[in-house]
């Protein structure tokens, strides 16, 4: 599992920002061809992204490209331009049916075979951002073995579904919970919505914490100032890791003694508690703070 605590959008047309992004120690960098790029610079952005992927050292940051939606007629040429430069992951926007991911699979299969890359090594993350996408979510989750994550596209969803976008986001609660639940059911990572106000760290942190509580693995970010606070929220803290280790050790001891449930610090520990502890350790390992 890759750590995807914070995924930073960078407009693919902006080489200065891309050069900055690779030095920010962020889990993932999303080189954007879609909404972050003006219509008259989209062709140029393809070349800038391909160049950046070939020449820049991204360090530990995942190299991700967000292409344009297929209905625009641009997606195929986006992929043709960037795939030879070797991105690790493709974000597909406006995924509202499994057929879109089937089409992506065909193109990625071809690219891998041409580049002699391992089959299915290029990963895919789907942006879920329309009412129809939520109705089709089960089929979308099962559409491709490349699919590793679902992103909540809150701005597009509220526009599509006729919701009023409020600062608190109560209108999004159902969709936001549903996405996390489906992601868990199909072993995918759920990635939370963007907080567009990049000066309000308090609001960002509260929103990220709520997402983590709902089961999200990370959050989309748009500004360098958002990276550290968001990555912190999605990293298990030392106390949680220590407790998880004790739960696992206790569970092994209990199992050896033929017991299922046991007590730790005056609280009952049984299978769901053990599972949560395992997931904390998995996330800590992915974040590189536990071997
Ligand atoms: N990636 C890398 N660097 C970024 C960045 C990003 N997403 N956002 C800002 N920076 C850099 C700026 O270039 C600036 O560096 P500089 O002083 O060397 O030029 C520094 O961080 C501070 O930026 P700031 O002046 O506070 O913001 P800005 O006005 O330059 O940019 C945005 C504000 C919103 C335009 C910018 O953050 C951005 O483009 N975000 C991504 C938008 C996007 O992709 N949206 C689509 C997906 S929702
Ligand atoms: Mg969008």
Per-residue pLDDT of the chain (291 residues; tens, 9 = 90+): 899 999 999 999 999 999 999 999 999 999 999 999 999 999 999 999 999 999 999 999 999 999 999 999 999 999 999 999 999 999 999 999 999 999 999 999 999 999 999 999 999 999 999 999 999 999 999 999 999 999 999 999 999 999 999 988 999 999 999 999 999 999 999 999 999 999 999 999 999 999 999 999 999 999 999 999 999 999 999 999 999 999 999 999 999 999 989 999 999 999 999 999 999 999 999 999 988
- Nearest ligand to the CA of 93 is 2
Residues, beta carbon < 5 Å, ion ligand 2: 35, 156
Residue 52 near ligand 1, beta carbon < 6 Å: no
pLDDT of residue 1: 84
Tokens (6 digits) for 32: 């954007």
Residue 2 near ligand 1, beta carbon < 6 Å: no
pLDDT of residue 25: 96
Residue 34 near ligand 1, beta carbon < 6 Å: no
- CA of 245 relative to ligand 2 center, distance in Å: 40
- Nearest ligand to the CA of 6 is 1
d(CA 34, CA 41): 11
Q: pTM here?
A: 0.95
pLDDT of residue 63: 98
Nearest ligand 1 atom to alpha carbon 35: 46
Contact at 8 Å (CB) between 26 and 227? yes
pLDDT of residue 11: 98
Report the DSSP pairing between strands 89-92 and 62-66. Answer: parallel
Residue 222 near ligand 1, beta carbon < 6 Å: yes
Residue 36 near ligand 1, beta carbon < 6 Å: yes
Residue 154 near ligand 1, beta carbon < 6 Å: no
- CA of 222 relative to ligand 1 center, distance in Å: 7
């Amino acid at each position: 599992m890759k750590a995807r605590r914070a995924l930073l959008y960078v407009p693919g047309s902006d080489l200065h920002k891309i050069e900055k992004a690779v030095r920010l120690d962020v889990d993932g960098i999303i080189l954007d061809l879609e909404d972050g790029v003006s219509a008259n610079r989209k062709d140029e952005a393809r070349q800038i992204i391909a160049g950046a992927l070939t020449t820049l050292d991204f360090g530990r940051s995942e190299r991700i490209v967000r292409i344009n939606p297929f209905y625009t007629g641009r997606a195929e040429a986006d992929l043709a331009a960037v795939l030879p430069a070797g991105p690790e992951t493709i974000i597909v926007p406006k995924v509202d049916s499994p057929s879109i991911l089937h089409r992506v699979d065909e193109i990625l299969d071809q690219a891998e075979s041409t580049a002699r890359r391992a089959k299915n090594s290029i990963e895919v993350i789907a942006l879920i951002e329309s009412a129809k996408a939520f109705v089709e979510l089960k089929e979308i989750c099962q559409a491709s073995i490349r699919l590793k994550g679902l992103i909540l596209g809150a701005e597009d969803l509220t526009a599509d579904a006729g919701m009023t976008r409020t600062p608190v986001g109560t209108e999004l609660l159902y969709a936001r919970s549903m996405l996390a639940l489906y992601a868990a059911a199909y072993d995918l990572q759920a990635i939370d919505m963007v907080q567009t106000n990049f000066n309000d760290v308090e609001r960002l942190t509260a929103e990220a914490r709520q997402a983590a509580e709902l089961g999200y693995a990370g959050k989309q970010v748009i500004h360098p100032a958002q990276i550290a606070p968001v990555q912190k929220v999605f990293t298990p803290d030392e106390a949680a890791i220590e407790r998880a280790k004790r739960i696992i050790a206790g569970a092994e001891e209990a199992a050896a003694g033929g017991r299922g449930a046991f007590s730790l610090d005056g609280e009952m520990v049984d299978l769901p508690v053990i599972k949560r502890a395992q997931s904390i350790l998995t996330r800590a390992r992915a974040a590189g703070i536990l071997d």
